[in-house]
Amino acid sequence: MIEGMRMDLKKSRYRSFDELYLYCYYVAGTVGLMSVPVMGISPDSRAATETVYKGALALGLANQLTNILRDVGEDARRGRIYLPQDELEAAGLSEADIFNGRVTDEWRSFMSGQITRARAFFRQAEEGATELNQESRWPVWASLLLYRQILDEIEANDYDNFTKRAYVPKTKKLMALPKAYLRSLMPPSSQTQSQRHYSSLT
Ligand SMILES: CC(C)=CCC/C(C)=C/CC/C(C)=C/CC/C(C)=C/COP(=O)(O)OP(=O)(O)O
């Protein structure tokens, strides 16, 4: 985590998603991983421990990527671009496009790809969240559902994350709480991965 903070002091560009992944891993993935032994895995869980840690890491990454996508304009005004340069280039976008902050079709399509990737990490996080101790499941589900909604708001703003800050309205936030509560009641998986694999074959 400290390494991530150091990285942020030295670096203001990321050549590829691999480089960005490493940064997100350091500053947020590690927080997720450290939370697992604090929150604890449900005694009823039959899932592989790896599934829980992978989920926790994924939630850290998903949150950080979402944060980055929400703050593109704000970061650019401080001279920083936390987006993979090779992917920007492939989408026909330059740094100047980001500093000028024009929402073009190229930008919309680039952003839509970035949002899809962040959602894939949220999906992976869901698998881990179900396996946590009962007491931790509601807050974790709430944070997952609330943060993931920021991505919906970026879409609702027609991908203008230069001049608009994607913001989840209070009513939507409140509505997420009972949804999170219901999800938190979902019991942990009662089968191990190999049992699941076996029963899918029979
Ligand atoms: C899912 C399972 C199995 C466990 C849960 C594991 C957890 C708690 C994961 C979440 C980890 C986490 C809180 C990562 C940090 C996320 C993040 C983007 C923080 C934003 O920090 P700032 O950059 O300070 O935010 P602002 O830009 O809003 O100030």
Entry pTM: 0.93
What ipTM was estimated for this complex?
0.91
194 in a domain, yes or no? no
Task: Classify 84 as helix, strand or coil.
Answer: strand
One-letter amino acid at 174 equals L
Q: What is the amino acid identity at position 158?
A: D
Gap from CA of 198 to ligand 1 centroid (Å): 36
- Answer whether residue 98 is part of any domain: yes
3-state class (DSSP) for residue 14: strand
Q: Looking at the domain assignment, is residue 135 inside a domain?
A: yes
Confidence of residue 163 (pLDDT cuts 50, 70, 90): very high
Tell me, in angstroms, the distance from the centre of ligand 1 to residue 176's CA. Answer: 17
Task: Note the helical H segments in the chain.
Answer: 2-10, 17-24, 30-39, 49-70, 72-76, 85-90, 95-100, 105-129, 134-156, 170-184, 193-201
Query: Which residues lie across from 41 on neighbouring strands?
Result: 132
Token pair recorded at residue 41? 């895995």
In this structure, are residues 44 and 192 in contact, taking their beta carbons and an 8 Å threshold? no
3 state DSSP class of 123: helix
Q: How confident is the model at residue 68 (pLDDT cuts 50, 70, 90)?
A: very high
Residue 96 lies in a domain: yes
* Residue 109 pLDDT > 80: yes
Q: What integer pLDDT is reported at residue 168 of this predicted model?
A: 96
pLDDT at residue 106, as a whole number? 98
Full residue range of the structural domain in which residue 47 is found: 2-188
CA of 162 from ligand 1 middle (Å) equals 22
- Give the position of tokens 């894939």: 120
**Nearby residues of 19 by Cβ (< 8 Å), 6 or more positions away:** 84
Indicate if ligand 1 lies below 6 Å from the C-beta of 55.
yes
State whether the beta carbon of 20 lies less than 6 angstroms from ligand 1: no
Of 186, 184, 187, 190, residue with least CA distance to 136: 184
Whether 189 shows a pLDDT value over 80: the answer reads yes
Distance CA 21, CA 175 (A): 31
Residue 98 predicted with pLDDT over 80: yes
Residue nearest to atom 25 of ligand 1 (CA): 67
Q: What is the mean pLDDT of the chain?
A: 94
User: Does residue 66 belong to any structural domain of this protein?
Assistant: yes
Does some domain include residue 196?
Answer: no
Domains identified in the chain, total number: 1
Task: Kindly report the number of other CB atoms within 10 A of residue 4's CB atom.
Answer: 18
Residue 202 lies in a domain: no
Question: What are the residues facing 132 on neighbouring strands?
Answer: 41
pLDDT band at 194 (very low <50, low <70, confident <90, very high): low
* Range list of H helices, 40-94: 49-70, 72-76, 85-90
CATH number at 82 reads 1.10.600.10
State the pLDDT at residue 200: 60
Atom of ligand 1 nearest to the CA of 58: 1
